Homo-oligomer: A and B are copies of this chain.
Amino acid sequence: MNEIEKNVPAVVAKRLPRYYRYLSELLSSGVNRISSGELSSLMNVTASQIRQDFNYFGGFGQQGYGYNVEYLHKTIGEILGLDKGNSAIVIGVGNLGRAIANHDQFEKRGFKIAALFDIDENIVGKQINGKNVYHTDELEKYLESNKTDIAILTVPVETTQDVADRVIACGISGLLNFSDTEIKTEKGISVENVHFSDALMMLSYRLKYE
């Protein structure tokens, strides 16, 4: 961990993916410099928060010149660990697993989806977006010989914990969980949840009160 990374507080770190996404969009639109004021109105956060946050990354804007988009994009990507190239597998190849296997944004962000797993004999042995589908029974064998950082779980609620335990036993320490339940893990395992119905419930709440 270098000096920049050590100094990023957790609350700032949580904002990094969103900054990274905006900086990626700016770069692909050919924007190389942006002022905190412009970024502020684009992202709908205060210019002062942007200035404070970017100071952590050594992204000091210059008066009348603005921020160097490419530098910030690269630096934030490094802090997020995107430059090291995470390898991932997807377990559960229903519609959601297929959507993920076909989701080009993942590879753009440095994640390589190397293999897919399912129990459905009709798709085992086939390929989706150039990735092999293996039987879930082969998980342990696959992980023994293929270094993998992240398991993406899109399996039914009832089997989520069991599948998580199996990949963790094989040494995987990062889980992206799409099931509508939570995974119990020991210390040292990182889990990020994407709960569709939580987002929908929050939307219902906001529709009622906003």
Contact B150 A201 (CB under 8 A): no
A138-178: CB near B (< 8 Å → 1, else 0) gives: 00000000000110000000000000000000000111100
Given A95-B96, A96-B99, A99-B99, do A192 and B196 touch, yes or no (CB 8 Å)?
no
Q: Are A105 and B180 in contact (CB under 8 A)?
A: yes
Measured in the bound complex, the distance between the Cα atoms of B72 and A120 in whole Å is: 39
Whether A204 and B99, one on each chain, are in contact in the complex, defined by CB atoms closer than 8 angstroms, is no
- Tell me the complex Cα distance, A17–B88, Å: 28
Are the CB atoms of A198 and B21 closer together than 8 Å?
yes
Q: Report the minimal beta-carbon distance from A57 to chain B, rounded to whole angstroms.
A: 13
Closest CB in chain B relative to A10 CB, distance in Å: 9
* Chain B residues, Cβ within 8 Å of A105: 180, 196-197
Contact check: which of B86, B102, B150, B204 meets A80 at CB < 8 Å?
Answer: B204
**Given A17-B195, A18-B198, A99-B99, are A190 and B174 neighbors across the interface (CB < 8 Å)?**
no
From B81, B96, B193, B209, give the contact of A207 (CB < 8 A).
Answer: B81
The yes or no answer to A13 lying at the interface (CB within 8 A) is yes
Partner of A204, one of B25, B82, B175, B207: B82
**Interchain CA distance A103-B100 in the complex, whole Å:** 16
| A16-B201, A194-B196, A204-B80 known; A98 vs B95 contact (CB < 8 Å) | yes
Q: Are B17 and A202 in contact (CB under 8 A)?
A: yes
Note all chain B residues with C-beta closer than 8 A to A176: 199-200, 203
A205 within 8 A of B: yes
A206 touching B181, Cβ below 8 Å: no
> Given A95-B99, A150-B200, are A209 and B1 also a contact pair (CB < 8 Å)?
yes
A204–B95 CB distance below 8 A: no
Q: Does A137 contact B (CB under 8 A)?
A: no
Q: A98-B95, A106-B197, A198-B21 are in contact. Are A190 and B210 (CB under 8 A)?
A: yes
Give min CB distance, A186 to chain B, whole Å: 12
Known: A196-B194, A202-B14, A203-B190. A21 touches B180 (CB 8 A): yes
